[in-house]
Amino acid sequence: MQTIRYADEKEVTLPFLLDLFQHAQYEASINDDGVFMVLAETALVSIDILTAENVRLIRLTSNVQMKDAAPSNKKLLSLIN
């Protein structure tokens, strides 16, 4: 049986997310510049946590490399799916 755990927004830090992703068997790390990276099956994902007064934001950025030989229409479709 899977357990669901909710985190308070004050708990959501890069070390917290690192532990969460590593526990889920993802290859994850925080580099010397403080950038959190997750290697997923098809992409390298960078995660930031931005905080300011009355603002909490988790930003996910994905980098995907496509084969040069792939048709342009398939490359475009892969970006929206």
pLDDT at position 27 over 70: yes
Mean pLDDT of the chain: 77
From 14, 11, 29, 23, select the one nearest 59 (Cα to Cα): 14
Kindly report, residue by residue over 37-71, the tens digit of the pLDDT: 888 776 777 877 777 777 777 777 776 667 778 78
Q: Which of 21-25, 61-65, 71-75 has the highest mean pLDDT?
A: 21-25
Amino acid symbol at 5: R
**With bands split at pLDDT 50, 70 and 90, how would you rate the model's confidence at 9?**
confident
Q: Which residues lie closer than 8 Å to 30 by C-beta, 6 or more apart?
A: 14, 15, 18, 36, 37
DSSP H or E segment with residue 23: helix 14-23
The reported pLDDT for the residue numbered 23 is 86
The reported pLDDT for the residue numbered 77 is 66
CA 50 – CA 59 distance, rounded (Å): 8
Structural contact between residues 28 and 49, judged by C-beta atoms closer than 8 angstroms: no
